[in-house]
Amino acid sequence: MTVARWVLLYPITMGLLLQSLFLLLLLLLGSGLHPAAAFPKGCYPSEEEGLKTFRCSNAQLTEVPRDIPNDTNKLYLDSNQIPFLPRDAFRDLPLLLELDLSHNAISRVESGAFQGLAEHLHSLDLSSNRLVSVSKDAFSNLKAKVNLSNNPWLCDCRLQELIRAVELAADSSRGIVCDSSTQEEHVGKAFLQVIADTDFCNVYKKTTDIAMLVTMFGWFAMVISYLVYYVRQNQEDARRHLEYLKSLPSKQRRSEESSTISTVV
């Protein structure tokens, strides 16, 4: 039986079927969801404890996926291979409350990566990544509790500024350990334990001040040396000229001497 014949024989059934498909499409669009085929493989939306959740755990992602429903409250991107977070990576998710980026390969976070999340985000997990050094500007205005544990941190002034700029998640501070440091004796120690006795930024400032003083002293010494050389050279030229004048006849010598003395003075 052809489709056209079937429609003619069962018009009511066909009409109900088309109506059902149309209503299903409206429900999908109205709820902010997309057909499952539009999501990356391994990603799916759900609802947990009344919150709209989008899970992409263990989905072999190499970047933050696009087409995440913009009414998502909880986003799980953990256990993937995401290498860095670009600027505005989450700007279309204004209602996001929790963001899990743990167990990835993130080594770089661009300034403005979390732009647009300051109002609602209260939990950000960046643990178990490859973060060595991150500017505090990357977390500007962010009020979320941040987990930065289990990363190969370089302990220096930059990390000290970052730790002071964010609110650390409970019990995560012990996991922020110096994998490398500007001072070798700090390697392997918890960073908060280290900065209890060492102010990295103050040490850096002192080093910078000393370098500036040494540079200024060097330039000053060069200027003084040049002035001494200039004065001595003029004195030597004047002495030679006077000796020359002494060798001249007396009348011409007096005239030249007075001219030379007035020039020297």
Q: What is the pLDDT of residues 106-118, one digit of tens each?
A: 999 999 999 999 8
CA dihedral 142, 148, 153, 155 (to 10 degrees): 60
Identify whether the C-beta of residue 174 lies closer than 8 Å to the C-beta of residue 188: no
What's the Cα-to-Cα distance from 53 to each of 73, 103, 176, rounded to whole Å? 6, 19, 29
Q: What confidence score (pLDDT) does residue 202 get? A: 87
Contact partners, residue 80, CB within 8 Å, separation at least 6 = 56, 57, 58, 59, 60, 61, 62, 103, 104
Task: Give backbone dihedrals phi and psi of 145, rounded to 5 degrees, phi first.
Answer: -80, 125
Q: What confidence score (pLDDT) does residue 82 get? A: 98
- Whether the pLDDT of residue 44 is over 60: the answer is yes
- Residue-wise pLDDT for 208-262, tens only, equals 444 454 455 455 556 666 565 666 666 666 666 666 656 666 555 555 555 544 4
pTM over 0.75: no
Across the range 9-36, mean pLDDT stands at: 52
- Whether the pLDDT of residue 49 is over 50: the answer is yes
Q: Give CA–CA dist 73/194, Å, rounded.
A: 37
Percent helix, strand and coil across the chain, each to the nearest 5: 45, 15, 45
- Residue-wise pLDDT for 159-212, tens only, equals 999 999 999 999 999 999 999 998 889 999 999 999 988 999 986 444 444 445
Across the range 9-16, mean pLDDT stands at: 53
What's the Cα-to-Cα distance from 182 to each of 154, 164, 186, 187, rounded to whole Å? 8, 19, 8, 9
Q: Give CA–CA dist 239/183, Å, rounded.
A: 59
The mean-pLDDT minimum among 67-71, 119-123, 208-212 falls in 208-212
What's the Cα-to-Cα distance from 239 to each of 156, 231, 232, rounded to whole Å? 60, 12, 10
Q: What confidence score (pLDDT) does residue 216 get? A: 55
